[in-house]
Amino acid sequence: MHYGITADTGGHIAYILDAAQAQAANIDVDQVSIVTRLFEGAGLSLDHARPSERLSDTLTIDRIATDDRRYLEKEALADDLSAFTEAFCAHLARLSRLPDVIHAHFSDAAAVAVEARRRFAIPFVYTPHALGIDKRQHHGASPALEGRIAAEREAIEKADALIVSTQDEAERQVHGYEVSVAGRIHRIAPGVPSRDASPARRATLADRLGECVTDDTKPLLLAIARPVPKKNLGALARAYAASPALQDAANLVILAGQHDGPGSPEEHEVLAELQALAQSPGLRGRFVLPPDHDGHDVAALYDRAAKGGVFVNAALHEPFGLTLIEAAAAGVPVVATRHGGPSEIVGALDHGLLVEPRDEDAIAKACLAILSDPARHARMSMAGREGSARYDWHRYAAESVALYARLPRAPGLLASDIDHTLTGCRAGAYAFAQWRQSSDLPFVVATGRCFSMARAILSQWGLPEPDAFITDVGTRIMLKSQRGWQECPDFSARLNQDWNRKAVVAALKPLRLRPQPRDTAGPHKVSYFGTAEDAARVRETLAELGLSAKTVFSHGRLIDVLAPLGGKAAAVAAYARRLNLPMGACIAAGDSGNDVDMLEGCGHAIVVGNASDELDGLPVRDGLMRVAGNHANGVLEGLDRLGLTHPAPVHASAA
């Protein structure tokens, strides 16, 4: 991707490409399609006019053509939106398999997704990236901006779920639209932007810097942004020009897009100011404004800036700030705007200083404070490198894909715990058995017990035999075959990934926890008795040693350490895939801590009235029901709310 060609080839494109690549590599994903608009124009790569481009076996870019093949900046897309929507829906109709979910980026894409959902019943997730209400606060109102805000309000109102990057977006910005988002908004931080792994075809800008500056021994003051007023590059350049001390301390390099791109009037205006400053006698040989750059240049300049330099993002408002975590990963301290995402990033990583972006003197002083203090620079550099690990695309992929899967759909499977969920009331157990006789809804039990004990408990309570057993806290799936009940080999093999049982047992031995009976153990499960505090010690110990595992505390005394890909939710998802069902079509019913993951992961969840306080922290969301009824009566109450307790129609024929 050649960034900086237009106003629309910036950080959000890097976000979408990196997110899609991580999702396409996720074990639970079959295919990802990045869908965009097909266009062509002078100065633009012919790639943009290719209808489809395969990036990997599981990832494509699909470009939708309309009669208007011009490149349109996002402010002009409204004129082509209706035609694009029709073309997109025609594209969906031609597919051999409809997508399970649409993730719409920006409000115009959300408008398309609303229509696709109406026609094809495909749920959609919305990510705004940069909300107009905050832009209005910093740049003033305009008719175009008011139209954008109205479109964003509709997108927020109609989306099945929202994914945002920061707590500020989740708790303040989205709520500014006065639309209820309870249970629908999810904060999932993006990862560090990926570096170009292809070989460099020429010397990078960092290699050639000595040709452009008078003193190549000085550290770098580096900025990378599109040349638009909101990125405030002019303020940084003016701050540098006004501070002889800053000029003596560092050379300034600003990457402001590709100067030969089509550009907008506002981009040309910003570039003109920057070029005039760079060519002024006082800054010549100190301020470098490269006319073009690629991914290798960016990576090399970050590495160069890590040697005593500073990265600056002085935007008037920055919705997130991918460049700040990119700088952190490279070990470059930052000076950043205090408005928007950077305050959260810098607050979490402690790898820089925040400034008021309209105060040019404050920008210069903050840069000097880091440049002139080697100890502070070293501390911030290390903090950034270590802290950037929390921004991980694989984590983003896992969390976003799990969210996609659990978006509520028409119910297609019931997964219920046994102890104290189906058991506990004889009359309720009998009523549940009667319901099961009249329902064709697939039914599995998901229990912490072993298979033999689970069957025995069901028999003792007169409860019906399920279509499958999920046992041992979601580390075994038992399927019925002509040869009787057999363990699912595919699920068992999946749980081997990243699981070192022997190392986990050895790591936990010094904690002196009392083991549960030997018959509760399994190849993907280690079990102890203990308190919630003991469970926390288990998690901390395994994390410190870098051992992957899932620790589950339940019933006030049971600690189960599972293979990282195990758990009731994972097992329900694996069984649902056998039925071609997403997690959003699954109903989970439970009462204790070992039910948490499936109650969170299924589209529909029933928390019975007698549930323990271990479930008090479950977030309020669409699809989660806290019923009044206890035990099996509570399960039936939840099924009734879903319209699933009415007897199936009887079809009879007369001879």
Query: For residue 198, is it within any domain?
Result: no
Q: Which two tokens stand for residue 291?
A: 């006319």
- Residues 246 and 330 placed together within one structural domain of the fold: yes
Interacting residues of 354 by C-beta distance below 8 A, sequence separation 6+ = 335, 336, 337, 338, 342, 343, 346
Which phi and psi angles does 186 have, rounded to 5°? Answer: -135, 130
Interacting residues of 578 by C-beta distance below 8 A, sequence separation 6+ = none
Q: Percentages helix, strand, coil for the chain, rounded to the nearest 5?
A: 45, 15, 40
Which DSSP state fits 496? T
In total, how many domains does the chain have?
A: 3
User: Does 439 score more than 60 pLDDT?
Assistant: yes
Say which range, 135-144, 377-386, 496-505, 627-636, has the weakest mean pLDDT.
Answer: 135-144
Q: How far apart are CA 320 and CA 312, in angstroms?
A: 14
- Per-residue pLDDT reduced to its tens digit, 236-252: 999 999 999 999 999 99
User: Does 587 score more than 90 pLDDT?
Assistant: yes
> pLDDT tier at 183 (50, 70, 90 boundaries)?
confident
Query: What are the residues facing 354 on neighbouring strands?
Result: 336
User: Does 652 score more than 50 pLDDT?
Assistant: no
> pLDDT tier at 2 (50, 70, 90 boundaries)?
low
- Residues 153 and 279 placed together within one structural domain of the fold: no
- Predicted pLDDT of residue 651: 37
- Residues 348 and 281 placed together within one structural domain of the fold: yes
Can you tell me the mean pLDDT for 175-181? 90
Please provide the average confidence, as pLDDT, over all residues in the chain.
92
- Residues 429 and 383 placed together within one structural domain of the fold: no
- Residues 182 and 237 placed together within one structural domain of the fold: no
Query: For residue 51, is it within any domain?
Result: yes
- Residues 118 and 249 placed together within one structural domain of the fold: no
Query: For residue 460, is it within any domain?
Result: yes
User: Does 595 score more than 60 pLDDT?
Assistant: yes
Query: For residue 15, is it within any domain?
Result: yes
- Residues 488 and 614 placed together within one structural domain of the fold: yes
> pLDDT tier at 226 (50, 70, 90 boundaries)?
confident
Q: What is the pTM of this model?
A: 0.80
> pLDDT tier at 3 (50, 70, 90 boundaries)?
low
CATH number at residue 408: 3.40.50.1000
Query: For residue 376, is it within any domain?
Result: yes
User: Does 502 score more than 50 pLDDT?
Assistant: yes
Domain hosting residue 613, numbered range:
404-641
- Predicted pLDDT of residue 5: 67
CATH number at residue 239: 3.40.50.2000
